Amino acid sequence: MAAKIGFIDTYWKFFNQYYDLDILILRGGARSGKSYSIAEWVTYLFTDLENIEMMVIRKTLPSLRITAYALMLEMMDRFQVKYMHNRTYRFIKNKENGNIIHFQSINNPNDVEKIKSWEGNYVWIEEATDLQYSDFQQISLRMSRKNENIAMRQINGVAKEVKLRNQIYMSFNPIDAFHWIKTEVIDKAGYS
């Protein structure tokens, strides 16, 4: 049985509308709902899709544990998802469909090496401004796992069946004009 999940309406429309983009950026101030909404969306994907691997990343393990990791576990319990939690290797596995979410810090070269051996479908980078551009490049290279999911998406108020693609979700507070996220990701994609 699929979990029943609720969403903040604005973000639900955002995720549905841009199902076909490689990177979705949620930038906003503290308590704007960006992390909570991504956690809801990741939980939805975790329960609704088949044969996917996800990763939630933050620069340091202590920060990851008290933010995105804790929030994802809260979502799993809130929406009564049946999952197995491996605390040692920091992952959760959906007992019904086998989907996996890994939780990884990326604070030193050993952490980056762990990511180099991973292949996935979805990544959430919490407080993405804390990472280096080279970290982001390594994460981007790992988004090569086959995704054969077809799903219904509400696009401009119309339900449409679409082929899903792998995506990176980045959440962070506003940044300066010279940060790599602005110069290497947003500007090069043609956005301002």
Residue range 77-131, pLDDT digits in tens: 999 999 999 999 999 999 999 999 999 999 987 888 788 889 999 999 999 999 9
Query: 7-11, 74-78, 127-131: which range is least confident on average?
Result: 7-11
Rounded to 5 degrees, what angle do the CA atoms 75, 145, 14 make? 50
**Between the CA of residue 152 and those of 85, 92, 131, 159, 192, what are the distances in Å?**
29, 25, 33, 6, 30
**Which distant-in-sequence residues (6+ apart) come within 8 Å of 10 by Cβ?**
none
**Within 13 Å, how many C-alpha atoms sit on residue 80's CB side?**
4
What pLDDT is recorded for position 51? 97
| Highest averaged pLDDT of the listed ranges 6-15, 30-39, 91-100 | 91-100
Structure tokens at 47: 């329960």
Task: Identify whether the C-beta of residue 83 lies closer than 8 Å to the C-beta of residue 92.
Answer: yes
What pLDDT score was predicted for residue 189?
78
* Bridging pattern class, strands 53-58 and 122-126: parallel
Token digits for 19? 């199902």
Q: Categorize the per-residue pLDDT at 29 as very low, low, confident or very high, splitting at 50, 70 and 90.
A: confident
Gyration radius of the chain's alpha carbons: 16
Tell me: the pLDDT tens digits for 135-188? 999 999 999 999 999 998 877 888 899 999 999 999 998 888 889 998 999 888
The residues pairing with 102 across neighbouring beta strands, listed in sequence order, are 55, 91
* Predicted structure pTM score: 0.91
- How many CB atoms within 10 Å of residue 128? 28
Q: Is the pLDDT of residue 31 over 90?
A: no
Q: What are the φ/ψ torsions at residue 103 (nearest 5 degrees)?
A: -120, 125
The pLDDT of residue 155 is 78
d(CA 189, CA 23) in angstroms, rounded, equals 10
Residue 111 has which token pair?
Answer: 């952490």
pLDDT digits (tens, 9 = 90+) for 46-55: 999 999 999 9
Structure confidence at residue 4 as a pLDDT band (50, 70, 90):
low
